[in-house]
Every structure is written in structure tokens, then in C-alpha cells.
Chains A and B, each alone.
Chain A
Amino acid sequence: AQTVTQSQPEMSVQEAETVTLSCTYDTSESDYYLFWYKQPPSRQMILVIRQEAYKQQNATENRFSVNFQKAAKSFSLKISDSQLGDAAMYFCAYRGPSSNYQLIWGAGTKLIIKP
């Protein structure tokens, strides 16, 4: 069975600095998708970034980028120029190759931004 592990329950970073959130996963599939979702205090789940396993190039979305290491089954999220609005829970999620597959979630990392 697939699993997703986020080993950092909480991270803090100074405003304008860079922070990296870690995520590892376990799967026997060769084709799959990985996601980072942000959950602010409102508790809405917001997609931050996604990565297709068949793509070697790391995904980027403005200040957010990932370091996808397929062999190591690692998928970290880097947030550059951290802003107060980035404070939230961040969840790493895995989805298998088929579109109807469920998302499998990590436990989340609480990101604190220090002004």
C-alpha cells in the first residue's frame, strides 16, 4: 500500500527567507502524481503545486518549487521569499496512475512565518 510521510510537524521561517518542507512516499507504481496542498486557518484545501512522476523536470509555480527525487521517493516543497500569507498547514499527497484513484495524504507540516 502506498504511504506518504511528512516528518516535520512544524517549521518556522523568517519573512522573506526560504523554507523547505519534506515529504517522502512509498509506492511500487512507476507512474503517479504528487501534490502539495495548503490549508490556511479557514481549513479550505488549496492546491499549491503538482508533479507528474514521468517528468524529470521539477515543477515550479511562482515562489513555490519542488525537488522531486524519484529514485529516493522524495518530494520536497521549497517556498522562496516567504510571506505572512504563506502561514498554513501544508499537506503532501500522492495519487496513483488512474484518474479515479484517491489521494493518499501525509500528516501535514505547520508552517509559521515570523515577521
Chain B
Amino acid sequence: EPEVTQTPSHQVTQMGQEVILRCVPISNHLYFYWYRQILGQKVEFLVSFYNNEISEKSEIFDDQFSVERPDGSNFTLKIRSTKLEDSAMYFCASTWDTLVGHTDTQYFGPGTRLTVL
């Protein structure tokens, strides 16, 4: 069964450093998302991406964040200058299977645990 993959599984970085989190969405999916979950808190939406551009973003997704689909398979989240409060689990998700018309379900990757020291 197709699945969303994310790398790395765990990233440790120093405050102020740039990090890039990588995701490979399910093939034929067209909508991509990033969510984050600070330990012990609820999942928060960051950004959605469709047709090579951001379709929606939350207040959290400020100028420090950017997303990109550099090729036909990868979907990346970049944090330019990490802060301590960026420490969280970051989840990538994808939806909309063109082969079956549409899907109402977002499928999640295993997450990347980001630790900012």
C-alpha cells in the first residue's frame, strides 16, 4: 500500500540554524500539508500546497517557514532560523488521488521529530 515517507526521523539542530524537513507524498496525490505537534499539545496546521503554490497557511507559518516541491516527488519544509519553540513533531500529509477522482482522507507520514537546542 502506498504511504507517505518523511526524512529524517529525528533532527537535532542549534538555535538559529536552518533545517529542511523532507516528505515524499503518495504518488498521484495533489494536495500536500504540513502539520506540527508540540509535545503534549494538539496538532496544528501549518500550510497546504497545491499546484506548486501555497493554498492556505496558518498564523504559525510566518516568514521563517517556506515550502517547496523541488521535483515531482519531494515536498519540503524549510525553517530558516530555528527557535527553541520550533521543537516539535512535524507531520507531512497528502490527499486527492487523481486515479479515483478524489479522496476525503489525509494520509500522514511517520513524522520528523525536530529538537532545537
Contacts and interface: CB of A to CB of B under 8 A. Distances in A.
B111 A44 contact: yes
The secondary-structure label for the interface of chain B is strand
A47 B110 contact: no
A95 interface: yes
A43 B42 contact: no
Interface residues of A, number: 24
B30 to A, nearest CB: 8
A99 B43 contact: no
The majority secondary structure among interface residues of chain A is: strand
Given A102-B33, A102-B45, A35 B105 contact: yes
Contact of A99 (B42, B89, B102): B102
Interface residues of B, number: 29
Interface string B37-80: 10001111100101000011010000000000000000000000
A43 B113 contact: yes
Interface of B: 31, 33, 35, 37, 41-45, 48, 50, 55-56, 58, 89, 91, 93, 95-96, 102-108, 110-111, 113
Interface of A: 33, 35, 37, 42-47, 50, 52, 91, 93, 95, 99-108
- The 3 A-B residue pairs with the shortest CB-CB distance in the complex, in nearest-first order: A45-B108, A102-B45, A105-B43
